[in-house]
A = this chain, B = another copy of it.
Amino acid sequence: MSHLRFIITKIGYNKEMFLLFNNKPQIVDWYSIVGKKEGQGPLGKYFNKIEEDEYMSGSSHEFAERKMFESAIKGVLKTAKSADAVFAGDLLNQIVSSSFAMREIALPFVGIYGACSSMALTLIMASMFVDGGYGDSAVACVGSHFATAERQYRTPLEFGNQRTPTAQWTVTGAGAALIKSRHNRSSSGKTAKNIFIKSATIGSVIDLGIKDVNNMGAAMAPAAIQTIKEHLKKSNAKKNDYDAIFTGDLGLLGEEILRDKLKLTTNYYDCGHLIYDDNQDSHMGGSGCGCSATVLNGFILNKLQSGEYKKILFIATGALLSPTTSFQGETIPCIAHAVEIHAS
């Protein structure tokens, strides 16, 4: 860890952008669909749907992934019926899960790529769209699938590769949130509470030299540190002002780095840590953009709805590599975006 500690001291050169949403864009509905393993985990009861069939009755895992997107978007629009735009992203090359799902959904579509930071990034863009008055409602939808991610980033499952100790397990699942302007919230959604996006921070890319594609937690932790520090500073808040601070999928190792460097205590959780039990053989925990997407649109928003949380900070981190860049010997650029959500 001493090498890591040394390079982390370099943090502080980059710039982040703090956004305040004056019109309180409302999260009026949310939906999550997950795979069998995620359904068996400790958060199982918070998800709307647990899909036992990893192919979702299709002939490829890629098909299943896009069906989860369709399911999540249709699920979140069940009451509202429609939205003015969908902001979506996934991990597959050319974000085909989002695009092919949007072929069926046929609503205005903005494709976002932020790797595992995508849930925060789509939420921020959807909030800008609604808060700025460009539309009355927008969906933010993000997801991933264990088998498609393994095939694309590492090796196909049939290869039976052994996983390294720092590896994480890509979550099979998709989550979607419906954002509405305050004046139009009454027409849809399950929420009696006033749940709204107060502010956000768009992060910048940071790369401290990690090359190990099986150690995303260590690669992404510096981005989370940078964005959280900036968000606290710009929003004039202290870390204990939040009922909970969630990172996306740093996993057990990244969580430990973050906890150590930011002196975080009992109000800090990592979605990748929360989603699987220790006995589920996920090594360092969950990852993939479906991880933070399903935990947000399952567990976290339900806790805001129930009143258990009143103010949370959600930081999704992304590792912006590709297999090509790794083969070419490049290190891993990372980013983190933060979204502050309040309930009243």
Chain A residues proximal to chain B, CB less than 8 Å: 13-17, 19, 60, 62-63, 82, 84-85, 89, 91-96, 99-100, 102-103, 105-115, 121, 124-125, 128-129, 131-135, 202-207, 320-325, 328, 330, 333, 335
Contacts and interface: CB of A to CB of B under 8 A. Distances in A.
Contact of A102 (B115, B328, B333): B333
A109 B335 contact: yes
A311 to B, nearest CB: 21
B112 A110 contact: yes
Given A15-B106, A103-B205, A205-B99, A94 B111 contact: no
Given A94-B320, A132-B132, A100 B333 contact: yes
A202 B19 contact: no
Contacts of A206: 103, 106
A19 B138 CA distance: 13
B322 A93 contact: yes
Given A108-B15, A113-B112, A204 B102 contact: yes
A17 B322 contact: no
A192 B113 CA distance: 35
B322 A107 contact: no
28 contacts: A17-B134, A17-B135, A19-B134, A62-B324, A62-B325, A89-B113, A93-B323, A94-B115, A95-B113, A95-B320, A96-B322, A96-B325, A100-B320, A100-B325, A102-B205, A103-B333, A105-B205, A108-B202, A108-B204, A109-B203, A109-B204, A109-B205, A109-B335, A110-B121, A110-B125, A112-B112, A125-B125, A128-B134
Contacts of A89: 113
A114 B88 CA distance: 11
Contact of A106 (B14, B109, B112): B14
Contacts of A322: 92-94, 96
A280 to B, nearest CB: 27
A202 B85 contact: yes
A114 B115 contact: no
A92 to B, nearest CB: 7
Contacts of A321: 94, 96
Contacts of A203: 108-109
B131 A132 contact: yes
A135 B132 CA distance: 12
Given A93-B94, A132-B132, A205-B102, A85 B13 contact: no
B202 A109 contact: yes
A114 B201 CA distance: 23
A330 B94 CA distance: 14
A205 to B, nearest CB: 4
A112 B95 CA distance: 10
Contact of A320 (B110, B111, B335): B111
A326 B121 CA distance: 28
Contacts of A92: 322, 324
5 closest cross-chain pairs (CB), A and B: A132-B132, A99-B320, A17-B108, A94-B322, A108-B202
Given A94-B321, A110-B125, 14 more contacts: A13-B106, A15-B82, A17-B108, A60-B328, A92-B324, A96-B322, A96-B324, A100-B320, A106-B204, A107-B204, A109-B202, A110-B202, A111-B112, A128-B128
